[in-house]
Amino acid sequence: MLVTSATPKSSLRATALARRDDLSPEARSAGSAAIAEGAIALLAPLHFDCVSGFLPIRSECDPGPILTHARSKGAAIALPAFLDPVTMVFRRYRDGDALVAAGFGTREPHADAPAVQPDVMLVPLAAFDRSGSRIGYGKGHYDRTIAAMRKAGHRPLLIGLAFSVQEVDRIPAETHDVRLDWLVSDSEVLDFRDHAA
């Protein structure tokens, strides 16, 4: 399927996710390891107090090794949590903390865990392009949460994590879409800071 700028986001999402789902378990494991290696190298020279990640669902890459590395540098770790169906926050997560069932078939920190503002956000996605645009899973949780952080004066470094098969030619950006600062795939690290809005 030729993916053009006129292709609706739902089609781009479906195509990219199908390609990701088609990766063999071996390719997914090797790709996740390469993504972790690239992200750890990217983070190595940076100072940060809190890194948010995510628990992988379906065929997503596993950010676990990146979070372990960040924790070894003294950073707090945060995971997304939902206050209601549309409001996402990040709650501190420590090894061994209990997790509770959440939407999307994943788990989140308990409501008693403190809400935090990450300096670095590892962002899951369905598709990306070379301008730093991303397509999520269609609910806008990350876009809304990042926009609210920015409105409050907090601008975390946004690092998308994806397999190279999730790349599409061009994503039609909308005014509410938030661009990534970086994208780490299993084959390269892309710097979008000149494009980020």
Q: Which pair of tokens denotes residue 173?
A: 């950006």
- φ, ψ of residue 115 to 5 degrees: the values are -75, 140
Report how far Cα 126 is from the mean position of its chain's Cα atoms. 9
Q: At what angle do helices 25-43 and 64-72 cross, to 10 degrees?
A: 30
Annotated binding site for ATP: 9-13, 134-142
Annotated binding site: 9-13, 55, 60, 134-142
| 31-52 as b/e: b if 16+ CB within 10 A | bbebbbebbbebbeeeebebbb
Annotated binding site for substrate: 55, 60
The CA distance from 137 to 126, in Å, is 6
Q: Which pair of tokens denotes residue 120?
A: 């670095």
Count other Cβ atoms within 10 Å, centred on residue 83: 10
